[in-house]
Amino acid sequence: MKLFDVYPINDIVIEKALGSNVWDDKGTQYLDMYGGHAVISIGHTHPHYVKRLTEQLGKVGFYSNSVKIPLQVQLAEKLGQVSGKTDYQLFLCNSGAEANENALKLASFHNGKKKVIAFKKAFHGRTSLAVAVTDNPKIVAPVNETDNVVFLPWEDEAALEQAFQQYEVSSVIIEGIQGVGGINVASDSFLRKIRTLCDTHNAAFIADSVQCGYGRSGKFYSHDWAGINADIYTMAKGMGNGFPIGAISISPKFQASYGLLGTTFGGNHLACAAALAVLEVIEQDGLIANAEKIGNYLMEQLKSLPKIKEVRGRGLMIGIELPEELSHVRKNLLAKHKIFTGEAKPNVIRLLPSLALTQEHADQFLSALKEELA
């Protein structure tokens, strides 16, 4: 059988990883400013993470949701504590798309309504509802097409108000910082406006925190910067530091009732052990504060560099927009300087490193970029 050649890949085989570095099969060391697309939250092969997962694997790796799994309860408590949303309810699944799928469904179960407001350039995943609220017609199959989704321009309060007048809105789904769309930070005032309108119209505020959440922005959820509470937070990526796990955190108003949601693998022993280890490290090592500190440092330094058109982001979620003619810079960072970064458009470099990134790593990246811009 031949592998489905679905991703545009680099001709590199990673054989070893530690912290913010990875090594290929020839022993070449790389700096990882991409974090496997915002997945590596606490750093690669963190000893506490490896120990907890290995120990769990030796005890029980999986038994179905037909039995009590105390690790799930521990994870819910820990997540409530670290995120500051102690009265929320946790539902565990396996990916970001699945989390969004469940959030949109849950909102609609609750208020009985159908319309979803999403935003231009949004990315929410590739399953049927998640892709329907994603602003990329190329990845929407005919079977996923629906009249239930309205796409609004980013940050347009008037359009938002009008949509609430025009439709029976079930939910609004928004990334606090758009990731795939090019690192666009939602303003506090726009998020507050959504909050108010959702309250007035009994709609759910769904905060897609799959990429911008889990401490990456310098707060647990990037939506926290606006001082609001969402009705449902969705998360995945950094939650498992590479072990597949996703979740939704549900406010008291939208609590799920028995039988509405479910999945075979969600909340399995290994995934819970991974997610607990991640939260323990985030807390013990102060990684949310570190993300803010190193993120601020990087952004300040980047803003002082020549030729950069714009620097956008918060914490360790940063977009560097270069003039079109410098679109080759990202390729050179990898080929010459052995630094992995992400791409939004060819001229927008995305930084999504581990939250444990050090200032030395940041400086290594900055001096390589400086050299390329010179």
Q: Are 289 and 160 in contact (CB under 8 A)?
A: no
* Cβ nearer to ligand PMP, comparing 97 with 322: 97
Among 35, 36, 43, 125, binds ligand PMP (CB under 6 A): 125
Among 97, 152, 185, 271, binds ligand PMP (CB under 6 A): 97
Smallest gap from residue 98 Cβ to ligand PMP (A): 7
Binding of residue 211 to ligand PMP (CB under 6 A) = yes
Q: Are 194 and 208 in contact (CB under 8 A)?
A: no
The CA-based angle 264-135-89, given to 5 degrees, is 40
Binding of residue 210 to ligand PMP (CB under 6 A) = yes
Among 176, 179, 215, 240, binds ligand PMP (CB under 6 A): 179
Using CB under 6 A, which of the segments 58-66, 95-103, 252-260, 290-298 binds ligand PMP? 95-103
Smallest gap from residue 214 Cβ to ligand PMP (A): 12
Residue type, 157: E
Binding of residue 348 to ligand PMP (CB under 6 A) = no
The rounded distance, in Å, linking the Cα atoms of 48 and 92 is: 22
Binding of residue 95 to ligand PMP (CB under 6 A) = yes
The rounded distance, in Å, linking the Cα atoms of 54 and 123 is: 34
Element (H, E) at 279: helix 269-284
Among 101, 175, 224, 231, binds ligand PMP (CB under 6 A): 175
Q: For residue 42, what are the contacts with CB-CB under 8 A and spacing of at least 6?
A: 49, 241, 277, 278, 281, 282, 285, 287, 354, 355, 356
Binding of residue 213 to ligand PMP (CB under 6 A) = no
Element (H, E) at 72: helix 70-83
Using CB under 6 A, which of the segments 26-34, 42-50, 175-183, 191-199 binds ligand PMP? 175-183
Q: Are 235 and 214 in contact (CB under 8 A)?
A: yes
Contact flags string 229-258 toward ligand PMP, x per CB under 6 A: -------x----------------------
Using CB under 6 A, which of the segments 18-26, 90-98, 314-322, 357-365 binds ligand PMP? 90-98
Using CB under 6 A, which of the segments 204-212, 270-278, 295-303, 335-343 binds ligand PMP? 204-212
Could you tell me the strand order of the sheet in which 348-351 lies?
310-314, 317-321, 348-351, 342-343
Rg (CA), the chain: 20
Smallest gap from residue 366 Cβ to ligand PMP (A): 25
Binding of residue 195 to ligand PMP (CB under 6 A) = no
CB-CB neighbours of 16 under 10 Å: 13
Binding of residue 101 to ligand PMP (CB under 6 A) = no
Q: Are 128 and 140 in contact (CB under 8 A)?
A: no
Which residues are at the interface with ligand PMP (CB under 6 A)?
95-97, 100, 123-125, 175, 179-180, 208, 210-211, 236
